[in-house]
Amino acid sequence: MKTDKYQGWTNYETWAVNLWLTNDSGIYDMIREMGQEAKAEAPELEAVKDEIWTVENGAKFTLADRIKDYIEENNPLENQNDLYKDLLQGALSEVNWNEIAASFLEIEKEN
């Protein structure tokens, strides 16, 4: 596993995904809305009720899962079986989804 940081992010893959998510206004707004929903739902999560997670962590983990699901569902190579799909999946497996989610939730805090 790589340990190199990139532009202040965990790695290049995380930086690149975040860059694309924040540079498209439609996707950016959609992810911010997902973040608002995740924050509203967090207090009702079992892990939060059981005091395993804080409300903030519940929102972050929920949003991270939703962002990852969105990216995976929109993978244009999903139905392929080739080198390019394998490389894309390898790169996506390196993404720190929690870091991206935390960044979006921090933006929401500031607004």
- Residue 3's pLDDT is 60
* CA atoms within 13 A of residue 70's CA, in its CB half-sphere: 16
Q: How many CB atoms lie within 10 A of CB 79?
A: 7
pLDDT of residue 111 exceeding 70, the answer is no
The owner of tokens 């490389």 is 87
Radius of gyration of the chain (CA): 15
pLDDT of 4 higher than 80? no
The structural domains of the chain, with segments of one domain joined by +, span 12-110
Q: Where are the beta strands (DSSP E) in 1-111?
A: none
d(CA 62, CA 71): 14
**Model confidence band, residue 48 (pLDDT cutoffs 50, 70, 90):** very high
pTM of the model: 0.91
- Tell me the sheet residues that pair with 6: 9
Mean pLDDT calculated for residue range 69-98: 95
pLDDT of residue 21 exceeding 90? yes
